């Protein structure tokens, strides 16, 4: 992009920047790298309006990386509950502990995020985009970022008929030279970032994509880039970026709410299709025409001879990563206490499930994921 267009972009941003809890009033001020890391990780796959309250609560509880590093996974999941993509929360905690351990070994206190892309990208959950955001917004380095907003803007501005995820043979830049599709987009991102104002260019483009250069009904009349935008000049903004084939996969199954005689609920954290590593309700896949009653898969978690009653409690829809889920809920009440519960084999519940029992009144805290909470809402 030419310097005069970037100047208009900066002027537009100064007038239109939204007030956000992670954005300082002074747009030129360096930022806390920890705060940038947390906000940008939360914003991945999540709307700004949703992230606001989560970010405020998170920063109140975990104001710095050293406080976070002392937390356990269960508490971190509670503060992440509702944001989805729980691997992000797990990686945040792992990274916090790693950074603090390195700070102790190197006698660098207080602990802080690294200042190089290589060091940042070596940490769990930090990829090229997040590393660029930290280096650019917090440390004011000339580092590029590339998220969905920038992809959409570059595709329209340069009339790119391919996506970063396309095969290399499809990627031609404006000179017609064939190159990797991802690299073509990163090239434009680096050009924008090759400036002392890289931090402002990067954030302004993200804001522009969110509010003006939107996926549907872009407000081209209000866009500071319209003077150089090829798609706008040709009246073809609706054609860019090209449509991506849906990667969503349908999944149908059953979530079990197994309740013991002493009012405890069965939680598992392994051997499940989704949410591995965190407390969740047992769940398994079945066809749309599954028979009523107790499915055979369910008897891995309790002995059918100890069932007082079962109740179909409706169903719910949910999305996890690329999975579009339709899940029925089956409430199973047992005649035995939690400590006496066994599977239909007569043996203890298979260790592969890492099963535990939680008090019903503690369910909201124990099941820190919206999948389980939706199922429980159908029962209680």
Catalytically active residues, by annotation: 40
Could you tell me if 328 and 283 are in contact, meaning their C-beta atoms sit under 8 angstroms apart? Answer: no
Q: So what's the pLDDT on residue 197?
A: 97
Identify the band that residue 175 occupies on the pLDDT scale cut at 50, 70 and 90: very low
pLDDT tens-digit series, residues 229-242: 999 999 999 999 99
Specify the pLDDT at position 347: 73
pLDDT at position 156:
98
In this structure, which CATH number among 1.10.340.30, 1.20.120.1770, 3.20.20.70, 3.40.50.410 belongs to the domain 3-239?
1.10.340.30
pLDDT tens digits for 179-213? 689 999 999 999 999 999 999 999 999 999 999 99
- Taking the CA atoms of residue 348, residue 351, residue 352 and residue 354 in that order, the dihedral angle to the nearest 10 degrees is 110
Helix (H) or strand (E) holding 252: strand 249-259
Would you list the domain boundaries of the chain? 3-239, 249-379
Query: Taking the mean position of all CA atoms in its chain, how far away is CA 27?
Result: 26
For 249-379, the fitting CATH number among 3.90.79.10, 3.30.930.10, 3.40.50.1970, 3.30.70.2190 is: 3.90.79.10
Rounded Cα distance between 324 and 318, Å, is 6
Quote the pTM value.
0.77
Matching CATH topology for 3-239 and 249-379? Answer: no
CB proximity list for 58: less than 8 A, separation 6 or greater: 38, 42, 79
Which DSSP string do the residues of 133-165 spell out, in sequence order? HIIIIIT--S-----HHHHHHHHHHTT--S-TT
pLDDT at 179: 61
**pLDDT tens digits for range 283-321:** 999 866 655 678 888 989 999 899 999 999 999 999 988
Please tell me the predicted confidence (pLDDT) of residue 168: 62
Residue among 326, 357, 320, 376 nearest 86 (CA): 320
Query: Which position has the token pair 């190159």?
Result: 179
């Amino acid at each position: 992009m030419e310097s005069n267009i970037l100047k208009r972009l900066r002027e537009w941003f100064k007038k239109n920047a939204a007030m956000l809890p992670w954005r300082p009033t002074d747009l030129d001020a360096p930022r806390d790298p920890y705060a940038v890391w947390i906000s940008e990780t939360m914003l991945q796959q999540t709307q700004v309006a949703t992230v606001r309250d989560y970010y405020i609560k998170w920063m109140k509880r975990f104001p710095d990386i050293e406080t976070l590093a002392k937390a356990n996974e269960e508490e971190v999941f509670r503060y992440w509950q509702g944001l989805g993509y729980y691997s992000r929360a797990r990686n945040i905690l792992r990274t916090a502990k790693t950074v603090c351990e390195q700070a102790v070994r190197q006698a660098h206190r207080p602990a802080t995020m690294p200042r190089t892309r290589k060091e940042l990208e070596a940490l769990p959950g930090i990829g090229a985009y997040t590393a660029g955001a930290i280096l650019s917004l917090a440390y004011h380095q000339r580092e590029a970022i590339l998220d969905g907003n920038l992809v959409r803007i570059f595709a329209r501005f340069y009339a790119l008929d391919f996506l970063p995820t396309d095969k290399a043979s499809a990627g031609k830049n404006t000179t017609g030279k064939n190159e990797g599709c991802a690299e073509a987009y990163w090239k434009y991102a680096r050009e924008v970032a090759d400036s002392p104002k890289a931090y402002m260019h990067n954030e302004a483009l993200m804001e522009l994509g969110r509010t003006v250069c939107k996926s549907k009904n872009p407000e081209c009349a209000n866009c500071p880039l319209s003077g150089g935008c090829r798609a706008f000049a040709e009246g073809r903004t609706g054609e860019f970026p090209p449509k991506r084939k849906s990667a969503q996969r349908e999944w149908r199954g059953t979530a079990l709410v197994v309740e013991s005689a002493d009012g405890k609920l069965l939680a598992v954290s392994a051997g499940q299709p989704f949410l591995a590593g965190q407390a969740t309700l047992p769940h398994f896949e079945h066809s749309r025409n599954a028979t009523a009653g107790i499915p055979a898969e369910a008897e891995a978690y309790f002995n059918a001879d100890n069932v007082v009653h079962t109740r179909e409690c409706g169903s719910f829809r949910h999305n996890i990563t690329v999975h579009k889920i339709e899940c029925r809920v089956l409430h199973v009440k047992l005649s035995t206490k939690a400590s006496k519960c066994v599977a239909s084999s007569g043996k203890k519940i298979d260790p592969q499930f890492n099963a535990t029992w939680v008090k019903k009144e503690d369910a909201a805290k124990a099941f820190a994921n919206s999948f389980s909470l939706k199922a429980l809402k159908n029962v209680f």
